[in-house]
Chains A and B, each alone.
Chain A
Amino acid sequence: MNVKPAPLLEVTGLNVHFGGTGFIPGLRTPPLRAVNDVSLAVMPGETLGLVGESGSGKSTLGRAILRLGELTSGEIVFDGTDMARATVGDLNRLRRQSAMIFQDPYGALNPRMRVGDAIAEVLRVHRKVPSSRIGSRIAELLNLVGLDAGYANSRPLDLSGGQCQRIGIARALAVEPKLIVADECVAALDVSIQGQILNLLMDLREQIGMAIIFIAHDLAIVRRLCDRVAVMYLGRIVETGPTEEVFTEPRHPYTASLLRAIPDIDPDRGLPENPLAGEPPSPIALPCGCAFHPRCPNALPDCSTGEPPRLGRDGPHRAACILPPGEIRI
């Protein structure tokens, strides 16, 4: 029997709530539960796709994992250290080994800095290379993301969105991270550029072997890029498993309806009829029981009472639904 390798990142029972504070208990506004009891693990070198509708808490979760946002409770064990209760030294270690790629390629770069300076800054702050080698390392990184070294002198304004995103990736790689959180990093780009950036990410993953948490709402991209996928609905992970398995045999009605909603390029097939009616409920007033039951075509009376179902514990492909696999009709 093989020894199971230790995960690079293990999140247990993570909660991120906003608001809900006040001096007088009766007058407190109810908290907004952006991330609700989330547990997940990422192996070294693995790519985990985090999918879900807008407002499902994907980005909040991604930021909480990198300790860029507040978190309410839970554990975030990164490389053996619980970063949720980290000291300044531990946090610095997290910062030296993780990086983030953002959705808006322009917004992620300081408009007053040449892109070469932005990369040089990372190298200097983290003392990645001796100062005599900074110039050549910048050229190396730019080449790695498919840009000419001459771009080091340009400012973000002078570049296209795709080029800026490459710079953002180069800056993230300058850290030599073990974990990258890519938050909708291709959503703002043209489709052809999306393809280039995805190929770049896949190549880099091959070459460098960092783990990626890929936050996206585009399921086709996730299917192409990710080893495993976690589906979020209203702050909870409702299904997780190897990408192909989840895509071919969804076990949660929400996943199934998301997959049904992927448009097909075949003109004869027509647009998918979206079986998912209505908007998700407000994360301030979550429904009792399974949060998905008001929109679920398979909902049983049991679904609307009691605690929300937990993710199953059986194998790598798990879903938080009381229906047995195969009983889902969407």
Chain B
Amino acid sequence: MTLARTQTARAGFRLAFGGGPLPLYLGGAILLIWFALAVMAPLLAPYDPIFQDGTARLQPPNSVHWFGTDNFGRDILSRIVWGARIDLQIALFGVVFPFLIGTTLGSCAGYFGGWIDTVLMRIIDVVLAFPFLVLMMAIIVILKPGLSSFYVAMALVGWVSYARLVRAQILVIKSSDFVLAATSLGYSHSRIMFRHLLPNAILGSVVFSMSDAVLVLLNGAAISYLGLGVQPPTAEWGIMIAEGQSFITSAWWITTFPGIAIVTLAMGFSLLADGLGELLGVRE
């Protein structure tokens, strides 16, 4: 309650005049740069990301290939720039679907309580009982390895954290006077839920979704690394690391540059989450 009350009212004002927390701007800037790179990939990337140049294999960073080339002679820089498209998409879709499913189910459970709550919480217990990555892999293997299967698996597994977060918030806010007032004024369930409960309950999830994006990103890279996500020869950072690992002693640039890309993007999300949390007064 107090979290919603304290800092949000003037957040917009403070933001516009640069009075927000520093991590917010830093994280935002990093994400913006990656986003711009992804959007302008065709203009910025010096080479075709999947073009194999047999004459330029395993070249270290030089003036022609700034980040070097891999064992097929593909330009690492171009692959990283094009890979940003896939990895940003992974972070986005890997968060949006669980977020939507989780907040919807979680708020229903918190608001209606009773058997809906009981059933949902047991399902969550079951999902949480499996190791995250193992469950993801099982679902992807059943469906058919690929990016869309990854999103489906992410949605099926990832929603539980959002559901629990929102449910807990709703439970607190449900007993506040303004919700009682809304009931006494004869508002419908959906109005109370969407106009009164969710706007006050969702902040925590929004902040969490930013730090969750980091995990999803690393997950996506890990799943691709295991050969279950993005399929070669598509440029994606996780695959690039996987393909480069056998050359790690002789050609460090194949794995190092995509690794740095993952770390900076993850840092962007993480900083943004920190900043948002500070700005909105939400502490995890």
Which residues of chain A have a CB within 8 Å of any CB of chain B? 63, 66, 68, 91-92, 95-96, 98-100, 102-104, 106-113, 121-122, 125-126, 155-158, 168, 171, 175
Q: Residue on A with the closest CB to B188?
A: A125
Q: Does B187 interact with chain A (Cβ within 8 Å)?
A: yes
**CA of A99 to CA of B180 in the docked complex: distance in angstroms?**
11
Q: Residue on B with the closest CB to A181?
A: B184
**Contact between chains at B180 and A110 (CB < 8 Å):** no
Could you write out 10 A-B pairs with CB less than 8 Å apart? Answer: A95-B184, A96-B186, A98-B184, A100-B181, A103-B177, A107-B1, A109-B178, A110-B200, A155-B9, A157-B9
**Contact between chains at A102 and B177 (CB < 8 Å):** yes
* Contacts A110-B196, A111-B4 given; does A126 touch B181 at CB 8 Å: no
Chain A residues within 8 Å of B199, by CB: 110, 112
* Contacts A121-B195, A155-B9 given; does A104 touch B177 at CB 8 Å: yes
Q: Does B176 interact with chain A (Cβ within 8 Å)?
A: yes
Q: Does B122 interact with chain A (Cβ within 8 Å)?
A: no
B 168-208 binary contact with A (CB < 8 Å = 1; else 0): 00000000111011111111100100011001100000000
Chain B residues within 8 Å of A126, by CB: 185-186
* A-B contacts besides A68-B184, A111-B5, 7 pairs, CB < 8 Å: A91-B186, A95-B186, A102-B177, A112-B4, A112-B199, A121-B187, A126-B185
What distance in Å separates the Cβ of A97 from its nearest Cβ neighbour in chain B?
10
* Contacts A100-B180, A102-B181, A121-B195 given; does A92 touch B200 at CB 8 Å: no
**Contact between chains at B8 and A99 (CB < 8 Å):** no
**CA of A103 to CA of B184 in the docked complex: distance in angstroms?**
15
> Which has the most chain B C-beta neighbours within 10 Å: A66, A92, A103, A111?
A111
Q: Residue on A with the closest CB to B197?
A: A110
Chain B residues within 8 Å of A112, by CB: 4, 8, 199-200
Q: Which of A68, A111, A125, A156 contacts B183 (CB 8 A)?
A: A68
Q: Residue on A with the closest CB to B4?
A: A111
**Contact between chains at B1 and A92 (CB < 8 Å):** no
What distance in Å separates the Cβ of A98 from its nearest Cβ neighbour in chain B?
7
**Contact between chains at B178 and A108 (CB < 8 Å):** yes
**Contact between chains at A122 and B178 (CB < 8 Å):** no
* Contacts A106-B5, A157-B5 given; does A125 touch B186 at CB 8 Å: yes
What distance in Å separates the Cβ of B189 from its nearest Cβ neighbour in chain A?
12
**Contact between chains at B184 and A100 (CB < 8 Å):** yes
**CA of A68 to CA of B175 in the docked complex: distance in angstroms?**
11
Q: Residue on A with the closest CB to B186?
A: A95
Within 8 A of A (CB), among B220-277: none
Nearest 10 A/B pairs, CB to CB? A95-B186, A107-B177, A108-B177, A102-B177, A112-B199, A100-B184, A110-B178, A111-B5, A157-B9, A111-B4
Q: Residue on A with the closest CB to B185?
A: A122
Chain A residues within 8 Å of B195, by CB: 110, 113, 121
Chain B residues within 8 Å of A121, by CB: 185, 187, 191, 195
What distance in Å separates the Cβ of A265 from its nearest Cβ neighbour in chain B?
32
Chain B residues within 8 Å of A91, by CB: 186
Q: Residue on A with the closest CB to B3?
A: A111
**CA of A122 to CA of B187 in the docked complex: distance in angstroms?**
8
* Contacts A121-B195, A125-B185 given; does A111 touch B177 at CB 8 Å: no
**CA of A106 to CA of B1 in the docked complex: distance in angstroms?**
10
**CA of A104 to CA of B176 in the docked complex: distance in angstroms?**
10
